[in-house]
Amino acid sequence: MVVKTEAVVLKTVKYGDTSKIISVFTREYGKLSLIAKGARTSRSKFVSILNPMSCIQAVFYLKESRDIHLLSDASSSRVHKNIVGDPQKTMTGFVMLDALNTAVHTRESHPVLFDHLVEALDGLDRAERSPVNYLIAFLIALLREAGYGLKLDACVRCGGKLDREPLVFESQFGGFACGRCRSPDTTLTMAPNHLEALRWLERPSPEVWSRLSLEPVESLRIVHLLAGHLCRHVPGARRLRSLSLLESTVVG
């Protein structure tokens, strides 16, 4: 069956002398592997568009009995020049892809999550400041769509207001415990402004995300919290390797 769909390239692997196998996240069919024959030759129509974070219209032969499908045509649907030209934005985008690749399984359709990813990449490309905000907003959406969303409105233990410090993130319950309910052996404490940042970036509006100002170290602390929560709940998940590279571009 020949299908045409929107897709975001997650990663690429060399195959043979001239080809690539690309992992893509599609709107209708979820995560798939495609082989792009001759994609690494200088005259290939694929040479400049099959890179991680590329948003494309893909045409391929989908066969139910195969794990890798043949890509027959692809064209760029969105161009994110500002991401490619900025190391911090580039690494922020890579963490988005890494997290998504960890959280979703092959051939699971997630059209809402696909839209969140494209929206986050578009916003990241336009961002004039605080690019990591777009990563945090995407991770919040990813966790929600994967079934591990955060409870941010009340203490996960007593249901009361989160008005007493220190706040403690308890991943097993999917949210924060207030200072009255914290476990004595819990060490992952968070400042009230971190909770407010999560509430702010939970809003479905890239224009709102850009208004939040966080220190780089605070942004990374929130990213680690969300990534750790994801890896705790997704079977077989590993630490996101791209996080250390993002840290090096954010704080040096």
Angle at 126 between CA 28 and CA 10, to 5 degrees: 35
Q: Which residues pair with 61 in a beta bridge?
A: 2, 70
CATH code of the domain covering residue 30: 2.40.50.140
pLDDT at residue 120, as a whole number: 96
pLDDT at residue 251, as a whole number: 78
Whether 73 and 89 map to the same domain: the answer is no
Please choose, from the candidates 238, 194, 241, 232, the residue with its C-alpha nearest in 3D space to the C-alpha of residue 214: 194
- Cα separation of 119 and 8, whole Å? 12
Whether 72 and 118 map to the same domain: the answer is no
Q: Which two tokens stand for residue 200?
A: 């702010």
- Cα separation of 171 and 180, whole Å? 17
Whether 64 and 43 map to the same domain: the answer is yes
- Cα separation of 88 and 216, whole Å? 11
Whether 132 and 108 map to the same domain: the answer is yes
Residues of the chain predicted below pLDDT 50? none
pLDDT at residue 207, as a whole number: 83
Structural domain of residue 152, as residue ranges?
81-250
Q: Which two tokens stand for residue 238?
A: 């590993």
- Residue 137's contacts (CB-CB under 8 Å, 6 or more residues apart) are 120, 123, 201, 202, 206, 209
pLDDT at residue 103, as a whole number: 92
pLDDT at residue 42, as a whole number: 84
pLDDT at residue 179, as a whole number: 81
CB atoms under 10 Å from CB of 120, counted, come to: 25
Whether 116 and 178 map to the same domain: the answer is yes
